[in-house]
Amino acid sequence: MDRELPASLLMFIASRSAANRIFEALQQRGFDDVTIAQARLMMGVDPEGTRLSVLAARAQIAKQTATALVDKLERAGYVERVTDPTDGRARLVRMTSRAKEAIPHARAEEDRIEQEWRAHLGPKRMQQLRQALTDLRAITDPYQ
């Protein structure tokens, strides 16, 4: 007997599909020297930069793994390590102009996905979905 899938798994499936589409769209636009693991890590970089330990925690990976991914992103020209202005001993990982060039392409694919979902669900249900997910952030997003 098939069981009803949990809401958390349904959200993961939709999220994974969207992330894959965005990753593929970026690859088609010439940002093809980044792996999906590197891209997922880069999604956690704040505009002012982020400490490596925070990136690792956000990506739920070991700090050593995050270090290796950042090393590769740095060599590819997507991130740089800079001194943390609040602590001269610490370093921040910050996006370079190369990484920032990819953002409009990612946003455009996000918009296409939202339009498709809205067309499939209808405007009212899409708004309800957005509101429910926004409400869930209060208990699920430790980084908000």
Predicted structure pTM score: 0.85
Q: Are 41 and 53 in contact (CB under 8 A)?
A: no
- CATH class of the domain defined by 33-95: mainly alpha
Q: What integer best gives the mean pLDDT of the chain?
A: 94
What's the CA gap between 17 and 15, in Å, rounded? 5
What pLDDT shows up at residue 135? 96
Place of tokens 């740089």: 80
Confidence band, pLDDT 50/70/90 cuts, at residue 142: confident
Q: Are 55 and 13 in contact (CB under 8 A)?
A: no
Strands (E), 7-86: 79-84
What pLDDT shows up at residue 24? 96
- Give span(s): CATH 1.10.10.10, the chain: 33-95
pLDDT at 137 over 60: yes
**C-alpha gyration radius of the chain:** 17
